[in-house]
Amino acid sequence: MEENDNIKQLMQLYFGKHFSLYGRILYGRWLRANDNKLQKDEILQELWENSDFQATASTHNDWNVLQKHLSINTSNQHSMPLYRQWLKYAAVVILVLTTAGTTYWLTDHSQTVRSVEMTEMFVPYGESQQVILPDGTKVWVDAGSLLVYPKDFTHADTRTVYLTGEASFSVHKNPEQPFIVKTTYLNVQALGTVFTVEAYPNDSCSMATLEEGSVLVSVEKGNVQPTLLRPDEQLVYSHTAQVVRIKSVDISLYQKERSGYLIFENTSFCHLMACLERKFNITIHYNSQKYASEYYNVKFSPNENLDDVLNILQHLIGIHYKVKGNVVFIN
């Protein structure tokens, strides 16, 4: 049941346009993978039945295009009635193509990626998880993040994984096979190192933070030269200005965050609220203009719940709040 809830939440985030273009490409890989196929089909059917979309002549044309990309054999209907089977794939066509526009099947033409079976890890809001990749690399994946990686690195020139959200990596050393983290705006390459990449689709910046070893960070857009980071350095890339800034950071803070701490240094109120939403799986309503110029330094320990955090912010900032279910109102 928990696995179904996670799959459903991921689909709802996607259809709600919470993913960037690159995130939609990752979603396409996840949706096409064989893992949890039955659950994916059932949830797509449920979303279709609860939607207002109608199958039209153009839907049939879109289906033919999608079928060509996926090489689906429609003659194999299994035990599902033809009408229900058509609705299921119509749901894929209508919800995927019209809700998000160009997606994986129409944008990702990499034969190398498509020949490798991919595995996905989606971490819902309110959770964090650890995974060990096929090469032995340890990854701590934060709330609201999607990590996609090959099931086997054996026959690849690089160990390339795809991230939407935030994760910390302790990379297993293999100089002959570079480890690369790809996000919407940044590519982070490491040989053997510990680093964190933060690339949430709705944030204004993407960041790479190095704890030990070395990483080469490349920017996907603009004319920014690749940057070699040293330990205790953080690269911040502004999505709008398309500029890179390098700053020194206290790495011990990032190590504590993997133990459950929430630590903010010179953090905007907007970013602080977004982190709390992911941490506690809540929605926070507030006047963004009122707090637009406010920046804070605050640390929350692992045993502090939402009420504790809000009480601390009330004394620290002077906010007034109300909690109704999983929604927080701040004035």
State how far the alpha carbon of 311 is from the alpha carbons of 43, 323, 327, in Å. 38, 12, 16
Parent domain of 53:
2-107
Question: Is 14 in the same domain as 102?
Answer: yes
Question: Is 185 in the same domain as 102?
Answer: no
Residue of 267, 199, 292, 180 whose CA lies nearest to 239: 199
Name 113's bridge partners.
none
Question: Is 6 in the same domain as 28?
Answer: yes
Question: Is 213 in the same domain as 143?
Answer: yes
Question: Is 121 in the same domain as 176?
Answer: yes
> pLDDT per residue over 245-266, tens digit each?
999 988 888 888 878 888 888 8
Average pLDDT of the chain, as a whole number: 77
User: Residues, the chain, total?
Assistant: 331
Q: What is the C-alpha to C-alpha distance for residues 90 and 282, in angstroms, rounded to an integer?
A: 32
Q: In the predicted model, is pLDDT for residue 49 greater than 70?
A: no
Rounded to whole angstroms, the maximal C-alpha distance in the chain is 65
Neighbours of 267 (CB within 10 A): 17
Question: Is 124 in the same domain as 238?
Answer: yes
The sign of the CA dihedral 197, 205, 310, 146 is: negative
Residue in this structure with the two tokens 């994984």, named with its chain if needed: 161
pLDDT given at position 84: 46
Residue of 159, 207, 204 whose CA lies nearest to 183: 207
Q: What percent of the chain has pLDDT over 90?
A: 35
Question: Is 91 in the same domain as 120?
Answer: no
pLDDT given at position 8: 66
The CATH number given to whatever domain includes residue 138 is 2.60.120.1440
Mark which of 195, 225, 252 sits at the end of a domain: 252
Question: Is 240 in the same domain as 134?
Answer: yes
Q: What is the C-alpha to C-alpha distance for residues 189 and 205, in angstroms, rounded to an integer?
A: 19
- What the block records as the tokens of 273 is 């609220």
Mark which of 41, 73, 107 sits at the end of a domain: 107
Q: What is the C-alpha to C-alpha distance for residues 214 and 231, in angstroms, rounded to an integer?
A: 7
Find the mean pLDDT for residues 177-182. Answer: 93
Find the mean pLDDT for residues 223-245. Answer: 91
pLDDT given at position 5: 63
> pLDDT per residue over 99-139, tens digit each?
444 344 444 444 444 446 778 888 988 889 999 999 999 99
Task: Say what the pTM is.
Answer: 0.66
3-state secondary structure the chain: CHHHHHHHHHHHHHHCCCCCHHHHHHHHHHHHCCCCHHHHHHHHHHHHHCCCCCCCHHHHHHHHHHHHHHCCCCCCCCCCCHHHHHHHHHHHHHHHHHHHCCCHHHHCCCHHHHCCCEEEEEECCCCCEEEECCCCCEEEECCCEEEEEECCCCCCCCEEEEEEEEEEEECCCCCCCCEEEECCCEEEEECCCEEEEEECCCCCEEEEEEEECCEEEEECCCCCCCEEECCCEEEEEECCCCCEEEEECCHHHHHHHCCCCEEEEEEEHHHHHHHHHHHHCCEEECCCCCCCCCEEEEEECCCCCHHHHHHHHHHHHCCCEEEECCEEEEC
pLDDT given at position 83: 45
Question: Is 163 in the same domain as 44?
Answer: no
Domain count for the chain, please give it: 3
Question: Is 217 in the same domain as 272?
Answer: no
Mark which of 107, 129, 145 sits at the end of a domain: 107
Question: Is 48 in the same domain as 118?
Answer: no
The CATH number given to whatever domain includes residue 326 is 3.55.50.30
Question: Is 239 in the same domain as 305?
Answer: no
